[in-house]
């Protein structure tokens, strides 16, 4: 029994059906970690992108260094660091929060590049037209550059959302009860790993296929000339 | 009143080691229509881009409306212009770009009203009325709600002209306004520019390869080569009896180019 659900080990099918609700509890945690991690990646990535775009090297250089450091060290190292080292300095976070934060930080290095590439892809001619019309820098950014960058940014972000979801099982090593961890516990107790682990693989496959087709749909249907301003 | 509205005073512009404008001097009077011709790379467009404050200068002084454009009067002589000074000076100028540079995510109407509302502080209704007048002027009254990608190149460029005019500039700069257009669309844009050239108060500075058109509308032609003015004069003078060998050579090659098409 796990989370109040009994399993039925009569055969593989009954086992599969009986543990499905248990895996769903794990899936719910996986999705929450995905969304929270993605949110952190979006916000922190934007901050990094803005800092990297700063004119002062004193500001931009540390942002590049942080990005490079995050990208060149394994997610698991960062996760262990946050989970085991921070408490020594009095910062104790629940495992779930630590895990989602680690995912978000890891992916912020990638999302910051997405923002930057998206903004830079808007042609210089647009900035010149705005300057010739005497539009302020801020207005040019918010009403000329960003609306044209968004359709380039969103599909790339969607791909990272899928990647984050696939990286959530890493959080099982710090005791987060996401779907893979739940399946492992079921295996430990029923002595049958084949069924729960296959189900986790299958559920991931379905989720990824659905999410990827969603990203492709967005890519096709976003107006490539930019978000219309009425 | 006789003061020039534009004056280039020993202006030097470099891109790295390459000197684009080499101690350039010229004046343009208020209301004058001047066309700059010359081979590519001669610095024609750079003159317009400096005036629109898209490119800085390395030497000399540019005056617009009697004031230095890239400088301000400091306690002792001229100092480099502040952003505020450039912002104020830009208000006198408008530019029409070779590639139109319309905002693709805004309707035609919004393209024209965005800056008047946000920069000049016009009310939305007033800006719209003014935009509709300008669209009528350029013959695009029915296209206000369309997006640039729904228009032909010639129509987009006419929107570009309306957008520049909406800021009520004293000086309008045309940077090869028909060079990116299919030949059959050139005429509609030239018609609009020709119409504008009737306006007495509007000073126009045009860079183009349309020699026949330049001849029709210009008060004066400047022939540029290698960052200097080789020859200048009225269209009749310059096109029928050019004094310099280099000018004759260029006009001959342009004629060949037109005939080859």
Report pLDDT digits (tens) over A80-98.
999 999 899 998 889 999 9
- Mean predicted confidence (pLDDT) in B13-28: 93
B246 and B162, same domain (yes or no): no
The CA-based dihedral angle spanning residues B74, B80, B86, B92, taken in that order and rounded to the nearest 10 degrees: 80
Q: Give pLDDT, residue A184.
A: 94
Give mean pLDDT, residues B104-115.
95
Q: Which of A126, A131, A227 sits opposite B54 (nearest CB)?
A: A131
User: B13 and B129 in one domain?
Assistant: yes
Residue B147 sits in the same domain as residue B244: no
Kindly tell me if the per-residue pLDDT of B2 is higher than 70.
no
Residues of B in contact with A132 (CB under 8 A): 52, 54, 90, 93-95, 97, 164
> Which residues 6+ apart lie within 8 Å of A156 measured at CB?
A114, A117, A118
pTM summary value: 0.85
Nearest-angstrom CA–CA distance, B12 and A183: 73
**B184 and B242 inside one domain:** no
- Same-domain status, B34 and B151: yes
Q: Which residues of B touch A131 (CB under 8 A)?
A: 52-54, 90
Average pLDDT, chain B: 93
Residue A48 near residue A108, CB atoms below 8 Å: yes
Contacts of A50 (CB under 8 A, 6+ apart): none
Give the pLDDT mean for B129-141: 95
Region A184-205: mean pLDDT is 94
Burial class, B176, CB count within 10 angstroms (exposed 0-12 / middle 13-18 / buried 19+): buried
CA end-to-end distance (rounded Å), chain A: 57
Has residue B81 got a pLDDT over 80? yes
Distance, CA of A17 to CA of B97 (rounded, Å): 66
pLDDT band at B206 (very low <50, low <70, confident <90, very high): very high
- Residue B261: predicted pLDDT: 60
> pLDDT tens, B95-109?
999 999 999 999 999
- Owning domain of residue B96: 6-210
Q: Please report, to the nearest 10 degrees, the dihedral formed by the alpha carbons of residues A210, A215, A220, A224 taken in order.
A: 160
Q: Does A94 touch chain B (CB under 8 A)?
A: no
CB neighbour list of residue A55: distance below 8 Å, 6 or more residues apart: none
pLDDT at A227: 83
* Residue closest to B50 by CA, chosen among B63, B41, B37, B38: B63
Residues B73 and B141 in one domain: yes
**CATH number, position A148:** 1.10.3720.10
Token pair for residue A118? 């998206």
B199: phi then psi, degrees, rounded to nearest 5: -70, 120
Q: Is A54 inside a domain boundary? A: yes
For residue B35, is pLDDT > 80? yes
Q: What are the angstrom distances between the C-alpha of B259 and each of B183, B208, B219, B252, B253?
A: 13, 17, 26, 11, 10
- Give the angle subtended at the CA of B48 by the CAs of B45 and B49, to the nearest 5°: 85
In a domain, A5, yes or no: no
Verify that B194 and B239 share a domain, yes or no.
Answer: no
A2 is a domain residue: no
Assigned domain for A194 exists:
yes
A117 in a structural domain: yes
What is A57-116 written as a DSSP string?
HHHHHHHHHHHHHHHHS-HHHHHHIIIIIGGGGT----HHHHHHHHHHHHHHHHHHHHHH
Q: List the CATH number of the domain containing B46.
A: 3.40.50.300
Q: What is the pLDDT of residues B50-64, one digit of tens each?
A: 999 999 999 999 999
pLDDT of residue A182: 94
Mean predicted lDDT score pLDDT of chain A = 93
Same-domain check for residues B28 and B125: yes
Count of domains observed in chain B: 2
Total of domains in chain A: 1
A229 located within any domain: no
Asked if the model's pLDDT at residue B118 lies above 60, the reply is yes
Under the banding of pLDDT at 50, 70 and 90, the label for residue A6 is: confident
**Between chains, do A143 and B114 touch, taking CB under 8 Å as contact?**
yes
Assess whether B171 and B52 both reside in one domain.
yes
B137 and B22 in one domain?
yes
Domain range spanning residue A116?
12-221
Could you say which of B53, B104, B114 has the minimum Cβ distance to residue A225?
Answer: B104
pLDDT at residue B77 is higher than 90: no
Based on the fold, state whether residues B261 and B186 are members of the same structural domain: no
- Kindly report the nearest CA distance between residue A122 and chain B, in angstroms: 11
pLDDT-based confidence at residue B143 (cuts at 50, 70, 90): very high
Confirm whether B223 is domain-assigned.
no
pLDDT at B222: 95
In this model, does residue B1 exceed pLDDT 90? no
ipTM of the complex: 0.92
Taking an 8 Å cut-off on Cβ atoms, the answer to whether A225 and B95 are in contact is: no
The pLDDT tens digits of the residues spanning A105-145 come to 999 999 999 999 999 999 899 999 999 999 999 999 999 99
**B173 and B50 inside one domain:** yes
**DSSP character at residue B202:** -
């Amino acid at each position: 029994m796990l989370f109040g659900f009994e399993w039925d080990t009569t055969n593989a099918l009954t086992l599969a059906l009986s543990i499905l609700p248990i895996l769903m509890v794990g899936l719910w945690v996986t999705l929450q970690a995905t969304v929270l991690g993605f949110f952190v990646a979006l916000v922190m990535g934007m901050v990094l992108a803005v800092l990297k775009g700063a004119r002062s090297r004193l500001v931009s250089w540390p942002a590049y260094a942080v990005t490079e450091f995050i990208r060149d060290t394994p997610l698991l190292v960062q996760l262990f660091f946050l989970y085991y080292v921070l408490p020594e300095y009095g910062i104790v976070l629940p495992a779930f929060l630590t895990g989602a934060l680690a995912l978000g930080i890891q992916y912020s290095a990638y999302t910051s590049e997405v923002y930057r590439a998206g903004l830079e892809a808007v042609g210089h001619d647009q900035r010149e037209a705005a300057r010739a019309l005497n539009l302020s820098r801020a207005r040019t950014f918010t009403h000329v550059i960003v609306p044209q960058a968004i359709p380039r940014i969103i599909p790339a972000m969607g791909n990272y959302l899928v990647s984050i979801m696939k990286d959530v099982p890493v959080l099982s090593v710090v005791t987060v009860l996401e779907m893979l961890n739940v399946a492992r516990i079921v295996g430990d107790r029923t002595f049958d790993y084949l069924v729960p682990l296959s189900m986790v693989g299958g559920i991931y496959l379905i989720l990824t296929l659905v999410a990827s087709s969603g990203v492709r749909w967005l890519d096709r249907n976003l107006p490539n000339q930019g978000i219309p301003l009425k | 009143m006789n003061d020039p509205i534009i004056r280039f005073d020993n202006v030097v512009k470099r891109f790295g080691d390459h000197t684009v404008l080499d101690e350039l001097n010229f004046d343009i009077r208020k209301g004058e229509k001047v066309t700059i011709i010359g081979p590519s790379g001669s610095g024609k467009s750079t003159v317009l881009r400096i005036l629109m404050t898209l490119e800085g200068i390395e030497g000399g002084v540019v005056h617009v409306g009697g004031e230095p454009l890239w400088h301000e009067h400091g306690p002792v002589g001229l100092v480099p212009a502040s952003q505020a000074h450039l912002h104020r000076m830009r208000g006198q100028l408008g530019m029409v770009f070779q590639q139109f540079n319309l905002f693709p995510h805004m309707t035609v109407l919004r393209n024209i009203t965005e800056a008047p509302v946000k920069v000049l502080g016009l009310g939305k209704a007033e800006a719209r009325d003014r935009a509709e007048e300008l669209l009528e002027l350029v013959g695009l009254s029915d296209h206000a709600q369309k997006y640039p990608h729904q228009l032909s190149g010639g129509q987009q460029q006419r929107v570009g002209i309306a957008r520049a005019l909406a800021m009520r500039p004293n000086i309008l700069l045309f940077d090869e306004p028909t060079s990116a257009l299919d030949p059959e669309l050139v005429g509609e844009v030239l018609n609009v520019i020709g119409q504008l050239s009737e306006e007495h108060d509007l000073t126009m500075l045009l860079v183009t390869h349309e020699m026949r058109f330049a001849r029709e509308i210009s008060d004066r032609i400047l022939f540029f080569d290698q960052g200097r003015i080789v020859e200048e004069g009225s269209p009749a003078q310059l096109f029928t009896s050019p004094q310099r060998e280099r000018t004759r050579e260029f006009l001959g090659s342009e004629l060949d180019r037109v005939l080859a098409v």
